[in-house]
Amino acid sequence: MKNPLPIAVRTALLLIVFCGLALAQSPVAPAPVPVRVLIVVAHPDDEFCFAATVYEITHNLGGTVDQLVITNGEGGYRYSLLAESYYGVSLTDEAIGRAALPEIRKRELLDAGHVLGIANHFFLDERDLRYTQDIDEVLREHWHKGVVLPEIERRIAAGNYDFVFTLFPTPETHGGHKAATLTALNAVQQFAGRKPIVLGCQATRSAAEAQPSWKGFQSPQHPFSVLPQVFTTDRTVKFGFRNALDYQIIVNWVITAHKSQGAYQLDVNRADREQFVILQNGSTDESTRTEALFRALAEQAAHPKSLAALGSGVRH
């Protein structure tokens, strides 16, 4: 049967349909690939919160992740009973534990970093004196004054990072976590160049009754604002042979790398999501850039690359 439409009309219609499809599939913002991330945390093992996200960035997106750890982790000796025979050191003796743990925990962190594909580790070796929820006690009495903020500022200026990953400063979290996160945020806010986006993380369970609170602790001396959007990495996305694998395996490898931290081992399989909010840094494009990262992560989550596909993209 003869086509009733002239060739010019048909061509124009095809072009309109094609362009419409292309527009519908084009992303709102370009995916930030390869992305550059700096983790800023108080203790060796805090990286557990965003372990799956970091693994996906280094392995699925070809990104680069560095880590800056502020303290030497010496305060973790109280939970080291089961690791005493493993390391051959009486770690729960406070004097012995505080002397030996900084080196042990550094090795544990490097093992966990190997799992995650961390490119560079930076250690500030500040003291990890004791548990407190008081951010000012940490900043005044535990850490050297005038050291941590400039060190983070130097790292941010040198690294050209797109994102800074931190722990979300809930009211009940360790004062060291609060201090690490808000010092990192201050460093970013003061940075005059292209500011990385600061994300605060909580590891959560998907059960409806376990929704996290994003109400940060209140302190007039340490004000910060949070954008409302929540970004999620699902640790239970299935992939691999017979869909038998998921990212909980990676998270659990990270947990078991930190053998000196006994109670922490009970976190195996406890949380199934990593959730993030933006701690505002004063830029105008924080939501757009973060949406682009998590869209790229979600698109690749079920397709982690094999070693052959990674080539030299992951440094170990």
Interacting residues toward Zn ion by CB under 5 A? 43, 46
Q: Tell me the closest approach of the beta carbon of residue 174 to Zn ion, in angstroms.
A: 5
d(CA 189, CA 214): 21
- Residue closer to Zn ion (CB basis): 128 or 246: 128
Nearest-CB residue to Zn ion? 43
- Provide the 8-state DSSP code for 245: B
CB 194 to Zn ion: min, Å: 29
Report the residue number, 237 or 255, with the smaller CB distance to Zn ion: 255
CB of 141 to Zn ion, least distance (A): 17
Q: What is the DSSP string of 143-204?
A: SPTTTHHHHHHHHHHHH--SEEEEE---TTS-HHHHHHHHHHHHHHHH--SSPPEEEEEEEE
Supply the minimum distance, in Å, between the C-beta of residue 175 and Zn ion: 10
Nearer to Zn ion, 276 or 294 (CB): 276
User: Listing from the earlier edge strand, what are the strands of the sheet with 120-126?
Assistant: 120-126, 64-71, 36-41, 163-167, 197-204, 273-279, 231-234
The residue (of 89 and 180) whose beta carbon lies closer to Zn ion is 180
CB of 289 to Zn ion, least distance (A): 27
Closer CB to Zn ion, residue 43 or residue 142?
43
Q: Which residues contact 41 (CB under 8 A, 6 or more apart)?
A: 47, 67, 68, 69, 70, 166, 167, 177, 180
Nearer to Zn ion, 112 or 237 (CB): 112
> Considering the complex, what minimum distance in angstroms separates the CB of residue 47 from Zn ion?
10
Nearest to 129 by CA among 140, 119, 120: 140
Going by C-alpha positions, the residue among 37, 38, 36, 110 that lies closest to residue 73 is 110
